Structure 1
Amino acid sequence: MFCFPASRALLAVVAAVVTGAALLTGCSGEKEAAAPVLPDSTCFGAFTPADLAPLMGTGKEVQVDAPADVRLTADWKEANCRILVDGQGRFSASASRKPAGLNMPFGPAIEKSNPEALPYAGNSRLWDSGAAVVLNCKGPTDSFDLDLFVNASVPATLKQEDRRPTFAALMKKFMDLAKQQNQCGG
């Protein structure tokens, strides 16, 4: 007679285990989170969605905070682009105009990241989560330096061996655009 209550308890435990297993199975069968949809052109017109896709991870809501271009003047000395996905910073690009020859160091955080020079820019650094370049620019009326930075919160899905090539390619596009928009000569 004591077997009946024990059987009822056993059935309750079995039912709980089966229900939990069904719930877990349902979770594992869910779709993976989707990549965020980026605008056709981003960050001063420098990057396409395909350029930035390796750095975006997953998410729904994209916010791009940037001016239309990166044309800098003696009065407007900085341009910044930030891309947030679901409120979290994923990518940034910045340009600043400095007096020619100021030769500011890249900073200890960059130097600690085992940087290397970019093959297409002399005064540059490339590391696993970004790149920086200082361009000497001879504009139509004056000379100045353009300090360019790109960096990102690198998702785990971007393989270690792909990180520096990704940032090198992004910096090349950004550098070419910044030179063109700021009418940099030799």
Structure 2
Amino acid sequence: MGCARVLRAAGAVLVAATVLAGCSGEEPAASSYLPERTCFGAFTRSDLEPLMGPGKTVKEMSPIDARLTATRREASCEVVVDGEHRVSVAIRRQPLGESFFFQPDPGQPAPDPLPLGDRGYVWDTGAFVTFTCQGAQDSFGLELMISGSVEHMKRGTSRPHFTGLMTKLMDVAKQQTQCGT
């Protein structure tokens, strides 16, 4: 076999290896498939990126807003990546005097108090807050809950991340439910 033929064969192998390496590279970040704003407009794509991980198929299921009323008492948002739930968000409105129930997951480390609203907690995989609102027509209570998959996050970063997400969600929930108007 001549030198030119060996070099051509080696070059073809190198090109094939490069093409195959590109095909077998890491999956794209699932967050790149999200709309720029999601979950009632509360979060940006980059807000949810740490919870998404890699993936090809992303579904976001939620109403356009969380404009809760005495008759529309709840709204939820689910983000699913390749068939796996990565983010769940729920907002519930209750008449004053009805209590909200929060039960920490016994399999998780104890939650920390979250200094938001009337009562709040943050744990490794989510956050929960309740607060009272004075609306234009009546007073009511709101319950906000966020949970997410933290398997793709750096250890020790999830509680601060969920605290930030809850702060954003509270702002949107207050505005959309006309809390304090």
TM-score, normalisation: structure 2? 0.82
Q: Is the 8 A contact 2:118 2:132 kept in 1?
A: no
Q: C-alpha distance in 2, partners of 1:113/1:70?
A: 30
* 2:176 corresponds to: 181
Structure 2 unaligned regions, length at least 5: 1-16
- Is the 8 Å Cα contact of residues 62 and 78 (structure 2) preserved in structure 1? yes
Alpha-carbon contact 2:55-2:81 (below 8 Å) kept: yes
The 1:107/1:84 distance shift into structure 2, 3 A limit, reads same
Report the CA distance between 1:129 and its aligned residue. 0.3
Which of the residues 126, 132, 150 maps onto 1:130?
126
Could you list the structure 1 runs, at least 4 aligned residues long, displaced by more than 4 angstroms after superposition.
Answer: none
| Offset of residue 108 of structure 1 | 4.2
Could you give the per-residue CA deviations for residues 32-87 of structure 1, whole angstroms, max 9, x where no partner exists? 12111211110000000100000001101110100000010111111010001111
Which runs of 5 or more structure 1 residues have no equivalent in the other structure? 1-22
- RMSD between superposed Cα atoms in Å: 2.2
- 1:30 aligned to which of 4, 24, 33: 24
Q: Whose radius of gyration is greater, 1 or 2? A: 1
CA distance in 2 between partners of 1:95 and 1:151 (Å): 12
Residue 18 of structure 1 aligns with which residue? none
Bigger fraction of residues in strand:
2
Identity of aligned residues (%): 45
How far the C-alpha of 1:161 sits from its partner, in A, is 1.4
| Residue in 1 that maps onto 2:11 | none
Residue in structure 1 matched with residue 65 of structure 2 by the alignment: 69
The equivalent position to 1:104 in structure 2, one of 100, 105, 128, is: 100
TM-score w.r.t. the length of structure 1 is: 0.80
Matched residue SS, 2:38? coil
Please give the alpha-carbon distance, in whole angstroms, between the structure 1 residues aligned to 2:74 and 2:118: 22
Aligned equivalents of 1:38, 1:183: Cα separation in 2? 27
Deviation string for 1:8-33 (max 9, x for gaps)?
A: xxxxxxxxxxxxxxx9xx78x93112
How many aligned positions are there?
161
